């Protein structure tokens, strides 16, 4: 096992409901658009990864009444840039805590000389903000590769972002483990050939995690053991490198 590759949103931290969703709504309000994404509606919209793609999907599915500007893609890109600014302000004001076990596992991997990488649909700037505010000011440098956003043309569930991360790491899929929280995420990681550990959250708990090595409530801590939804963990109560080595294919 040479590297751990982490998804960000929903996996490292619960950023979707109280940060991304809120930032989208702040942008819509700023542009005087009568669009509002409730907690429930946002759960449906998460079926589409990528903020720009999600806005387009919402307009097509829920707002057939909307008369688009001549260049809709450019307008959506402008909205999305504004949303990214709101998201970054929000993370600076109210850092979102990392999920249980994330910091501990990253620190163990660093001590043991494993490489770390990120494979996410969100923008690089958002990843950097989360790492700096919630992990440590110098933690961007902990990651050999930050594969994010529009660097690939096809977002998750396509394998492209994981293929890109593996290529940049210079490693084969069999040498790495992916961490994901969603159905789209596991499809992407598995399509790239990666063993995948799932930590669910309220938005994703009922999704299809076929092919997961483990499906857990969270990564767990010595004093906060995980709940196992599927897979064999022996007598482990939290994810550490010894447990992960069992799942290298």
Q: Which residues are catalytic?
A: 7, 9
Cβ within 8 Å of residue 146, ≥6 positions away: 117, 118, 124, 127, 128, 140
From 9-17, 73-81, 163-171, 219-227, span contacting Mg ion (CB under 5 A): 9-17
The single residue among 4, 6, 10, 243 that binds Mg ion, judged by CB under 5 A, is 10
Complex with ligand XBP: residue 123 or 139, whichever CB lies closer? 123
Smallest distance from Mg ion to CB 42, Å: 13
What residue ranges bind ligand XBP (CB under 6 A)?
7-10, 16, 20, 49-51, 120-123, 126, 156, 182, 184-185
Select the residue whose beta carbon is closest to ligand XBP and give its number. 51
Neighbours of 57 (CB within 10 A): 15
Chain centre distance of CA 177 = 15
Residue 207 sits in the site that holds Mg ion (CB under 5 A): no
156 binds, among Mg ion, ligand XBP, none (CB under 5 to 8 A by kind): ligand XBP
Complex with ligand XBP: residue 103 or 155, whichever CB lies closer? 155
Complex with ligand XBP: residue 181 or 240, whichever CB lies closer? 181
Closest CA to 159 of 126, 123, 184: 184
In angstroms, what CA-CA distances link 128 with 147, 149, 162, 194?
Answer: 11, 12, 18, 24
| Assigned token pair, 133 | 């505010």
Q: Are β-strands 145-148 and 176-180 bridged in parallel, bridged antiparallel, or unpaired?
A: unpaired
Neighbours of 108 (CB within 10 A): 17
201 binds, among Mg ion, ligand XBP, none (CB under 5 to 8 A by kind): none
Complex with Mg ion: residue 46 or 114, whichever CB lies closer? 46
Residue 7 sits in the site that holds Mg ion (CB under 5 A): yes
From 8-16, 72-80, 83-91, 109-117, span contacting Mg ion (CB under 5 A): 8-16
In angstroms, what CA-CA distances link 212 with 41, 190, 236, 243?
Answer: 27, 8, 17, 14
Query: Residue holding tokens 């293929």?
Result: 163
Q: Are the C-beta atoms of 218 and 234 separated by less than 8 Å? A: no
Among positions 157-186, residues that touch Mg ion (CB under 5 A) are: 181-182, 185
Complex with ligand XBP: residue 16 or 160, whichever CB lies closer? 16
Task: Please tell me the count of residues contacting Mg ion according to CB under 5 A.
Answer: 6
Q: Are the C-beta atoms of 96 and 14 separated by less than 8 Å? A: yes
51 binds, among Mg ion, ligand XBP, none (CB under 5 to 8 A by kind): ligand XBP
Q: Are the C-beta atoms of 142 and 116 separated by less than 8 Å? A: yes
Smallest distance from ligand XBP to CB 21, Å: 8
101 binds, among Mg ion, ligand XBP, none (CB under 5 to 8 A by kind): none
Contacting residues toward Mg ion, per CB under 5 A: 7, 9-10, 181-182, 185
């Amino acid at each position: 096992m040479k590297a751990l590759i982490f998804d960000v949103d929903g996996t490292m931290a619960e950023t979707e409901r109280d940060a991304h969703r809120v930032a989208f709504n702040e942008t819509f309000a700023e542009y005087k658009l009568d669009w509002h994404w409730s907690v429930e509606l946002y759960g449906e919209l998460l079926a589409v990864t990528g903020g720009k793609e999600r806005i387009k999907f919402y307009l097509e599915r829920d707002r057939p009444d909307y008369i688009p500007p001549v260049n809709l893609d450019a307008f959506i890109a402008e909205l999305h840039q504004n949303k990214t600014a709101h998201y970054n302000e929000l993370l600076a004001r109210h850092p979102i805590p990392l999920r249980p076990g994330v910091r501990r596992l990253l620190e163990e991997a660093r001590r043991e000389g494993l490489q770390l990488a990120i494979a996410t649909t969100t923008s690089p700037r958002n990843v950097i903000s989360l790492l700096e505010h919630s992990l440590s000011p110098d933690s961007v440098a902990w990651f050999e590769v930050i594969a994010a956003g529009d660097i690939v043309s096809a977002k998750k569930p396509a394998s492209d972002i994981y293929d890109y991360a593996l290529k940049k790491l210079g490693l084969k899929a069999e040498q790495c483990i992916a961490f994901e929280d969603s159905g789209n995420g596991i499809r992407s990681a598995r399509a790239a050939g990666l063993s995948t550990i799932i930590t669910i959250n309220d938005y994703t708990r009922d999704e299809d995690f076929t092919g997961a090595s483990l499906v857990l409530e969270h990564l767990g801590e010595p004093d906060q053991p995980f709940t196992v939804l599927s897979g064999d963990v022996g007598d482990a109560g939290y994810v550490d490198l010894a447990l992960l080595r069992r799942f290298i294919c």
